[in-house]
Structure 1
Amino acid sequence: MIAWDDAPPPAKLKVGPLRAIAAIIRGVLVLFWTVLTVAIYLILKLVEPALGGAKPRYAALRLWSRIMLRLIGLRRIVHGELPPDGTALVANHSTWADIIVFSSIGQVAFVAKSEVAKWPLIGWGAQMMDTMFVERRSSAAERQRIEMVERLERGQQLLFFPEGTSTDGMRVLPFKSALFSAFTNMPDTLIQPVAATYVPAPHLPRAFYGWWGDMSLGENIWALLTHSYGGAVHISFAPPVRAQDFAGRKALALHCGEQVRADWARHSTDSNAAD
């Protein structure tokens, strides 16, 4: 993945002492809630066979995500029909917070490049959340297709970010058609475009939630903890499609990208997330 850096990062926001204290308290709550959820999640994963499947731990993950959104000051607004089990989701990617946002909607498992599995802490968290790691080698394509089919048959909702990078949240980049090649051998699989549109509070810059280029993850998290209250994220689900309804992967990628871009734009001009 090449980091998108076609826009300068927003200026750093001033943090007064009271705002800093409030952010530290929120950070402690975030850490406590995350540690508690990880413990519950791992226990549920151990006893998963006795519980008849993965639904209980995904329910715990959804609860974690929804409370996390409240803690970082994001109101979740859902539009359209939620995806059925076993649906592939394709979405725009603006920020690391997308992981929290999309984990709040169902049995979502993310699809990421294999290098992510080796990242300190983040790689462990991604593996714990059932992330599917993919390699670009052609020799791995069939094995990965089989794994994808098996996951979808188990009811997972595999989520792809076809832009190939995160952005400033002010646009949706063209979807890379190569990421849709797996669907050409899965003609009956439901593929649902989904758009996440972040709307910051009126006093914040429009690109406040974006994370791109050389921006520091730590600084971005601190900005959310100190200034994020009053924001909203619109999650818009478009009607699902099937690969068999398109001439090829490029046509499928173009359709999904246009649908996500249209749904994203529908809410990107909201002037006040608190309305």
Structure 2
Amino acid sequence: MQRLRVYARIVRVLLVVLFGLGMASLFSLYERLHLSTPDDRRQRWSQLFMARLARALPFKVTVIGNRPQQPMLWVSNHVSWTDIPLLGMLAPMSFLSKAEVRQWPVAGWLALKAGTLFIRRGGGDSQLLRQQIARHLQRACPVLIFPEGTTTDGRSLRTFHGRLLASAIDTATPVQPVAVRYLRGGKPDPIAPFVGDDDLLSHLLRLFAHDCGEVQIHLLAPIQSAGQERAALAFNAQLAIHTALFGAQPVAQPQRRAKAA
């Protein structure tokens, strides 16, 4: 019975992937014909794909809070690759992802065609990335980033990198903090986290072999970015998410950088 359930879930995900490949192929055709595909259109189609993928995953999702009514820079803690479809179904948006994802079979190509922005660790391309995110925000196209820079097991929160939030300050775009919590039996889910040297296929099969887990997505109060320093903005977002996940425990305040004379 369990094996049949796994097979049924795999078939459902494969059908969604085929749907995504069809959309991505259409975007490729537009590019070959030199037809423009606006970012907001890619984001709307991406949301449709993410919503279908999220429904195919073995999770019961609860969304707490109000969805933003204006374009924002979404900032979330990062536990698993499943964060992307679960958050991507909530609103049209683009994503910031590590460059390694671009090399993933199928998923990397889908991410590229959906308009994902890729960042290389230690690649020295932070200024270019800042400009790309700012360009999206100026076009009223929301962007989602994971400022921890990596995934965790969901039991802790790493320091947020302020440089990834600089574009929000440049464009005076509010920041939308999001706290994602995975639970299984009322306790932190040990299966959902995607960390270390785990591979996508093995992780997906482990998810499908178990009963549905629970995901709580907290859409927290937006944070105004205008006039803020990026370290302070990152700290405020981290503090809001930390409080939603773990309560009002102390978080280290970043040191204010001295201005050059």
Counterpart for residue 235 of structure 2: 254
Counterpart for residue 10 of structure 2: 27
Give the Cα separation in 1 of the matches to 2:42 and 2:168. Answer: 28
Amino acid in the other structure paired with 1:243 = S
Alignment of 1:27-176 (within 5 A): 27-40=10-23, 42-43=25-26, 53=38, 55=40, 57-135=42-120, 136-138=122-124, 140-176=125-161
Q: Deviations over 1:11-51 (max 9, x none)?
A: xxxxxxx2112111110111012202431454378679999
Percent sequence identity over aligned pairs: 26
Give the Cα separation in 2 of the matches to 1:33 and 1:73. Answer: 14
The alpha carbon displacement at 1:99 in A equals 1.3
The alpha carbon displacement at 1:54 in A equals 5.2
The alpha carbon displacement at 1:174 in A equals 2.1
Gaps of 5+ in 2: 248-261
Gaps of 5+ in 1: 1-17, 267-275
Residue 178 of structure 2 corresponds to residue 194 of structure 1 = yes
Q: How many residues align?
A: 244
Amino acid in the other structure paired with 2:235 = L
Q: Residues 50 and 124 of structure 1: is their aligned pair in 2 closer, same or farther, counting only changes over 3 Å?
A: closer
What secondary structure does 1:243 align onto? coil
Q: Residues 182 and 62 of structure 1: is their aligned pair in 2 closer, same or farther, counting only changes over 3 Å?
A: closer
The alpha carbon displacement at 1:191 in A equals 1.3
Q: Deviations over 1:62-98 (max 9, x none)?
A: 3333333332221222122213443111110001111
Give the Cα separation in 1 of the matches to 2:132 and 2:51. Answer: 29
Contact 1:41 1:61 in 2 (8 A): no
Counterpart for residue 270 of structure 1: none
The alpha carbon displacement at 1:254 in A equals 1.1
Counterpart for residue 12 of structure 1: none
The alpha carbon displacement at 1:220 in A equals 1.5
- The correspondence for 2:218, drawn from 230, 236, 243, is 236
Output the aligned Cα RMSD.
2.9
Q: Deviations over 1:161-190 (max 9, x none)?
A: 111111112222221233334444x15121
Amino acid in the other structure paired with 2:101 = V
Give the Cα separation in 2 of the matches to 1:264 and 1:225. Answer: 26
The alpha carbon displacement at 1:109 in A equals 0.9
